[in-house]
């Protein structure tokens, strides 16, 4: 049984989020886990105030980044995402530069949604990464 597509408007652009095949999803999740693994481990480290040590998390993530691998991972994540832009239906992976020419923050919003659609247990609000991001939002919004 095919999963339903998700329709969502992000920054005034209409998107259709489809699901990766199980094989592609497992391979992608493995690559994401490898990249994020050290960062997740760093979330157990606390700073002086007992909060998550954001510097340790970001340092662990940066130490694993390779620009070609990260770009491939992002494009693979967007393989089943289509954007309605300028009257055209564009595959976000194949038309990456055209779709995301408005800026990286827009890209990150779309990427987050693609990961939530394909890996809800991991990236959704109740998932491992989602709960960590909720903690980070709390840290950054303190007066």
What pLDDT, in 10s, does the model give residues 43-82?
555 555 555 555 665 566 666 677 888 889 899 999 999 9
Would 26 be classed as within a structural domain?
A: yes
The single residue listed with the structure tokens 């510097």 is 55
Would 87 be classed as within a structural domain?
A: yes
With cut-offs at 50, 70 and 90, classify the pLDDT of residue 24.
very high
Task: Evaluate whether 76 touches 92 at the Cβ level (below 8 Å).
Answer: no
Q: Residues 74-110: pLDDT tens digits? A: 999 999 999 998 889 999 999 999 999 988 899 989 9
Counted domains in the chain: 1
Domain of residue 90 covers 6-118
The single residue listed with the structure tokens 């564009």 is 90
Would 29 be classed as within a structural domain?
A: yes
Task: Evaluate whether 78 touches 69 at the Cβ level (below 8 Å).
Answer: no
* Chain Cα centroid distance, residue 64: 16
* Chain Cα centroid distance, residue 78: 10
* Per-residue model confidence (pLDDT) at position 40: 58
Would 123 be classed as within a structural domain?
A: no
């Amino acid at each position: 049984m095919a999963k339903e597509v998700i329709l969502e408007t992000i920054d005034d652009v209409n998107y259709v989020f489809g699901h990766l095949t199980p094989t592609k999803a497992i391979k992608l999740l493995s690559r994401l886990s490898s990249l994020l693994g050290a960062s997740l481990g760093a979330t157990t480290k606390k700073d002086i105030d007992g909060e998550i040590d954001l510097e340790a998390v970001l340092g662990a993530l940066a130490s694993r980044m390779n620009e070609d691998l990260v770009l491939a991972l992002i494009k693979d994540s967007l393989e089943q995402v289509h954007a309605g832009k300028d009257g055209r239906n564009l595959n976000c992976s194949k038309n990456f530069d055209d779709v995301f020419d408005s800026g990286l923050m827009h890209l990150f919003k779309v990427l987050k949604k693609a990961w939530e659609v394909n890996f809800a247990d991991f990236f959704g609000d109740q998932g491992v990464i989602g709960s960590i991001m909720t903690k980070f939002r709390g840290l950054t919004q303190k007066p």
